[in-house]
Structure 1
Amino acid sequence: MSASDPSAIQSMSHVRGLDSLRFVAAAIVALSHGATFPARQYFDSGSGIERAIGAANELAFNGSAAVLVFFVVSGFCIHYPVTQGMDLRAGPFWVRRTIRVGVPLIVMIAIAELIGPTAAAALTVILWTLYCELIYYALYPVLRKIIDRVGLSLVLVVSTVISFSIILSDWETLFYWEYSIWLTWLVALPVWLLGCLVAERMATVRRPDPGATIWHWRAAVWMYSVASLAFFHHGGIQIGNPALLLPFGFLAAAWVEREIACFQYRQPFAILEWAGRWSFSLYLVHNVVIALLPLGDTHLVADWLVRVVAIVVASLAFYWVVERPSHEFARSASRRLAGRQALAAAMSNPPSTR
């Protein structure tokens, strides 16, 4: 089976293109938090066209929308191995996923607290997404049993109704993290489940090469994110991100499905796949660096370049020192636990001597 064969995805443990999507999403989050070029400072005092350029630069990157792409990719990655027949053992699964996310998270929280209140406050802005992820990991073995019994479509419909009800009860809530975490994960759950739905569809449906239409989907996703951000800031009616972006989750899932199909037929850019490996570190580190390196009034470009370089250097350092070792430890601990469970099962069910 060739790597370009559309059926190749059925046997691939690593799905091509997902690392690229992770990096793009993490980069957009960083850009939305202050890593973008400070165009407004240069163009605000100019002509109407120049001011429009500055405003467009700020609307081009919707970090909340990018987070929902993360959730779709996460749901896909968790559910896809199960659609390929992998036996899910709750203990090893929990150990691997919790260590993989939890260790870098705890280390970064400790670093931010040691640096001081500015760093801690900057980190807090992005923590809600990771708490949601940990909740989804904790619940997935149970969710999988429910999905096996009643079907993913019903679970998705119920979760969407619950999410919509929470949003409708206070549709002026501006940000996801303004809910308590016990409501936030419910609000975002349909998007994560949409990733599971993409996994099931990719496991059972042989998708054709989307070809040039993939750029139509990319444009549609970007245009929705820009329009929702523009309405959020300038719509005249106070509607929060959770209400504006719930439909975006469905669009993002349809787009991610086509991206996965696209990369069945062609190789992703190697640099994006490489950058995707440390995208989690980028997500954890970027806002702390931005908070610690404010832009000055007279050397905007120089300060911005220092900020961008510092984000990349700090992210790579965190990846090599913390994230990558935690991944290796997570895999090792999960395998050891799975081995002990298999041994215990074998000892409790000895082979018949007949």
Structure 2
Amino acid sequence: MKEIRILCVYDGYITEEVMSKMKELEEFGARITMVSDDEMKDVGDVTNRMLLLEQKGLEAAPTYKTLLENCPDKEILVVHCTSINKEVLEACPKLKAAVVLRGGIENVDINELTKRKIPLINTSWRSADAVSDAAVGMMIAENKNIARSHHYMKEGRWVKSYVNQKYIHNMNKCTVGLIGYGAIGSRVAKKLKGFDSDILVYDPFVSREMIEKDGVKVVDLDQLLEASDFVSMHLRLSDQTKKIMGKREFAKMKKTAYFINTARAGLVDTSALVEVLKDREIGGAAIDVFDQEPLPTDHPYLELENITLTSHLAGTASDTPVVSVEIGVEKLKDFLTGMTEENDR
């Protein structure tokens, strides 16, 4: 069996201990080398890097020099948020695959990988359960005023009437519109079925057949906005989806409907959302992702009564790093088995 050299780069989120599961691949002919990305020593460093990549692109992120020093003889690179950019790819003449242990792939130069015919493996559903749990939780929190009531009680106030008092509904009386039906959106739908909610879906990137097999209804965007009591974002951010929710789209929503975003801030025109919330043109919102993080202390969101805010926590779970590596290991086992079979022909 030919030895396959794999370089794994761990960081402050996917730690050395968690990444060590990659050593299971040694049974498949892999030789594992592990290095630490010392530029991302803790979770804060990692989330800052994610935001930098999302907002300013791969070019804004530094090349990790230790990766460059260790990659020339490697055939597979496994990273979390460390960049695999053109400089890295030029230093890896033997590269046969790149692995990113996260859902997003902003830290990889896709064009260069494509030119070099190098496959990219990622763990697209690693935080799908965590984020889908949070999305449903934020729907309930905003509708039932859970965060507001907690806040008031900490202030010594016993508040029984809220701005949404006339349209607090049970979930089994609500229609939920999901914009996006990938790993996260589909899980949200599954969980909402337990509440007997009606579910509408808009996703131009997934076939109608794939969505309808789950027993949910496919509609166009305007139909979803007009009919839903909750509108929840689950698309990946791209040139096609940037600011897909703007002034026109918010105007289509019911005055009693809630807007939920646990996906990406760039999917939304923030100023348009602030305007409709301030003017009470929609019922409320629950937001986990922001154009600037941490949220500035003078942000207009903080002046609104009809919004629930969390500090980019939706994907947070102690299970997520472990799940990321577990998925990566299973995908690489398949990849290495395929390489072995090809070499045996």
TM-score (norm 1): 0.28
Q: TM-score, normalised by structure 2?
A: 0.28
Structure having the larger proportion of residues in strand: 2
Larger helix fraction of residues: 1
Relative contact order: is structure 1 or structure 2 higher (C-alpha 8 Å, sep ≥ 6)?
A: 1
